[in-house]
Amino acid sequence: MAVKAQLTGPLTALQVMQDAPVIPVIVLTDVGQAVAMAKALVAGGIRMLEVTLRTPQALACIAAIARQVPEAVVGAGTLRSAADAKSAAAAGARFAVSPGYTKALGQACRDLGLPLLPGVATGSEIMMAQEDGLNHLKFFPAMQAGGPAMLKAWSGPFGDVRFCPTGGVSSDNAAQFLALPNVVCVGGSWLTPLDAMAQGDWTRIEKLAQQASILATVA
């Protein structure tokens, strides 16, 4: 597998989305696992890593990856406030993902230089994000909110918007999303299964990343 050039400096949301077909959505409860997991994903061809702020250990895990795995690009997910954005940036996050969108969160991310993929599930939410200059969005929760059919419907009125569907996306249906012209990548948790994490099965996680990294060529 070709080694990707290291990304330095500020990123754009499009760069984050275009780097690989899948952005892993990661829940970490053990800082001791963070670095080994990140190295396994990178070895498999996936380096944009969304560590969700769903556990007390999340920020420490982001910091550990940012410090010890420079070839990875670690981001923070589940941001819900400006305070979340500030904490994530301070920990070393280089991009942000949120389940929804507010102007306060958008402004905080702009001030911090964090590219933001905000979650949207309706046309009104897309329009609110676009008012603030955001055209690269997370479709969430993707399957529950209409799946590929909804994205096809949005391609007419929102032809200038590109999406990262997340929520109910799996190895079984990812190719259906990636085949859509308005989808750049997908987000999913299947690259870091709980049992593999608990067992420290980094070889399995690397293989899952390898499979995910070629999804676009299959779609």
Catalytic residue among 71, 138, 206, 207: 138
Query: Would you call 50 a catalytic residue per the annotation?
Result: yes
Dihedral sign for Cα atoms in the order 215, 75, 3, 7? positive
Per the structure block, which two tokens stand in for 118?
């905000």
For residues 219 and 215, give the distance between their C-alpha atoms in angstroms, rounded to a whole number.
6
d(CA 14, CA 70): 20
Closest to 213 in 3D by CA, of 19, 8, 13, 30: 19
Residue 4 among the catalytic residues: no
* Amino acid occupying residue 92: G
Instruction: For residue 25, report the phi and psi dihedrals to the nearest 5 degrees.
Output: -100, 110
Q: Which of 50, 125, 131, 152 is catalytic?
A: 50
**DSSP H or E run through 148:** helix 147-154
Which residues participate in catalysis according to the annotation? 50, 138
